Each structure stands twice: as structure tokens, then as C-alpha cells.
Amino acid sequence: MKLKNIVIFALLLVFSIGAILFYVWQKYAVTNINYQIQHSYDKKQQLEQQKKELIIKKSQLELTASIKKEAESRFGMRDFKESEMRILEVSR
């Protein structure tokens, strides 16, 4: 009878420890996955912001290119060489 009680107690103890370890492992796994999700969300936000900035930059470059093309075709303007540039100083 005494041995039977000890065996039952030992089995309950092993089962309890196993359940506690499983619970702790599950909590760790959930926390780790939540961290990964948050990291992915932050990366997504960063990439969306970078995309917006690149769209604005592209628009500015296209606008500059179209202005240059228009200036060359309508007004006959062209790029100048450094030797053609003059610097004027104005005294007050």
C-alpha cells in the first residue's frame, strides 16, 4: 500500500512538472512569435514609408526631366560648359 502511494505520488509529480514545462514552453513560443510578427510589421511600415519617398523622388526627377526637355525644345536652351559660365559680383 505504501509503495503504491509513493508510485502514484511520483507519477503525479512527473506529470505536474511536465505540464508546467509544457506551459512555460508554450508561453515562450507565443512570445517569440509575437516578437517576430511585430518585427515584420515594423519592417512593412518602414518599406511602405520608403516606397512613398521613392515615389515622390521619382515624380520630382520626371518633372525635372520634362522641364529640361521643354526648355530645350521650346526655347532652344542647352546645358552649358564650365568655361562658358561667368560669375558676376555686385557691390553695394
Q: How many angstroms separate the CA atoms of 31 and 5, rounded?
A: 39
Task: Give residue-wise pLDDT tens across range 27-85.
Answer: 999 999 999 999 999 999 999 999 999 999 999 888 888 888 888 888 888 887 888 88
From residue 57, alpha-carbon distances to 27, 31, 63 in Å are: 45, 39, 10
| Residue 11 within a domain | no
Single-letter residue type at 83: S
Q: How many angstroms separate the CA atoms of 89 and 92, rounded?
A: 10
Q: What's the domain count of the chain?
A: 1
Task: Give residue-wise pLDDT tens across range 14-33.
Answer: 999 999 999 999 999 999 99
| Residue 51 within a domain | yes
| Residue 57 within a domain | yes
Task: Give the domain range for residue 46.
Answer: 25-63
User: What are the grid coordinates assigned to 80, written together?
Assistant: 552649358
Q: How many angstroms separate the CA atoms of 3 and 64, rounded?
A: 91
| Residue 36 within a domain | yes
Query: pTM value?
Result: 0.56
